[in-house]
Structure 1
Amino acid sequence: MTSQNNSPISVVIVDDHGMFCEGLASMLRQHEDFTVLAAMQDGPSALQSCRVTPPDILIADLAMPGMDGLETIRTALAERLCKSAVLLTMHKHAVIAEDARRAGAAGYIIKDEAFHELADALRAVAAGEEFVEPASLPDNSGATPVLSPRERSILLLIAQGQITKEIADSLNLSDKTVETFRGRLMKKTGSRNMADLVRFAHETGLMA
């Protein structure tokens, strides 16, 4: 996807709350690794925009009049109008996360956290990962976190002493995408610093 080699990630946003939609668009425009192609307020308009200029990622609100976010995402992916999709919702519920997955969405994020988490979520999705906003996940305190293949690859390179630029070049990702994954790894593993992260890699057998 276009997050590789530092090319901007193109997005189309659809949310029937105009101020919220424009707020997200404005926030993403402040990041040099994103290009907002359109900010629409209904599913059909968003799909038409995608037909004109297909984005890397479609960001759709769940609760919209007429065509809701799930239907918008299903249609966009079925017609290959975008490469991936992320669902926005007000509700923290595992059922909605499962509905999003079944619709084909690669990301699911709580709207209350969108201004803090969306950029990282989009970078993860652009790198081929799924993203579920941490606030929507069950509390598994004490359990060893499950890492995705991409997270394991990046953690291994971190543990080998590679810096962000080296990891980005090795995996054909942007520097910011690598930094996003580094932050996710810190959160998932409860690491306070790089030394903790390297220790986790050794203790879980990743370096074996």
Structure 2
Amino acid sequence: MSNFSCLIFDDHPLVCVAIKSLVESLGVVNAVHTATSSKSALETIKSENVGLIILDINLQDCDGYDFYRRIISHGYEGKVIFFSGESSHLYSQMAFRLGADGYVCKSENYSILKDAIEAVAKGYSFFKFKHTTTDSKPLAELSSRESAVMKHLLQGKTNREIANVLNISDKTVSTYKRRVLDKYNVNNIMELARVTTT
């Protein structure tokens, strides 16, 4: 058993309970903490010897990627596994490029998450998709808002629908949409879907 603890950060309490039970059964950490808000997550990181964080991307009060950047900038040196409902390899790539240690989709069997936790605890990384630094289509660097707009675009939502969901104007959505298309060097959503899912 390691001498550090694990923090599970997900805004769904039942998910936290399920993952906590799994982590405890593995015996790879000495304690397991849960948090459903960024405030409680940050407090736990500051007060406990957290060496492994398992967190979602789409959180109620923050973006998982932004939260990761924040804790790293404040000196966190432990391991991080993203556990998200997003199945597109784009999200796995973003986690990889940010420096995370693993990515598991929530639609996967829990045995996959188990394998990821055990691998990361031993010092390995765990990503379903192969990542290289010589990809012919490198991942574009998107802001959290650009990522959010892209996600809804790929789900087939209109600019108006996205504006309502994100509480921004149609014009702002159009601006973010153009930025995303430009960063991926594509002309439309069909092309964007092709380069982000293949």
TM range (shorter): 0.5 to 0.7
- Deviation track 1:68-112 (CA, whole Å, cap 9, x = no partner) reads 211122222222234111111112212101211233211100112
C-alpha RMSD of the superposition: 2.0
Aligned match of 2:15: 20
Contact 1:70 1:100 in 2 (8 A): yes
**Distance in 1 (alpha carbons) for counterparts of 2:118 and 2:73:** 22
Task: In structure 1, give the amino acid aligned to 2:75.
Answer: R
CA pair 117-9 structure 1, distance change in 2 beyond 3 A: farther
Task: In structure 1, give the amino acid aligned to 2:124.
Answer: E
User: 5+ unaligned residues in a row in structure 2: which ranges?
Assistant: 131-198
CA pair 78-30 structure 1, distance change in 2 beyond 3 A: same
1:64 aligns with 2:81: no
**Distance in 2 (alpha carbons) for counterparts of 1:34 and 1:120:** 15
1:73 aligns with 2:68: yes
Identity across matched positions, percent: 25
Matches within 5 A, 1:85-164: 85-113=80-108, 115-133=110-128, 137=129
User: 5+ unaligned residues in a row in structure 1: which ranges?
Assistant: 1-5, 139-208
Aligned match of 1:198: none
> Where has structure 1 moved over 6 Å in runs of 4 or more?
none
Aligned match of 1:47: 42
Contact 1:85 1:106 in 2 (8 A): yes
Deviation of the 1:28 alpha carbon: 1.5
Matches within 5 A, 1:24-35: 24-35=19-30
How many residues of Structure 1 are paired with residues of Structure 2 in the alignment? 130
Deviation of the 1:54 alpha carbon: 3.1
CA pair 46-82 structure 1, distance change in 2 beyond 3 A: farther
Deviation of the 1:36 alpha carbon: 3.6
Deviation of the 1:13 alpha carbon: 0.4
- Larger RCO, structure (CA 8 Å, separation 6 or more): 1
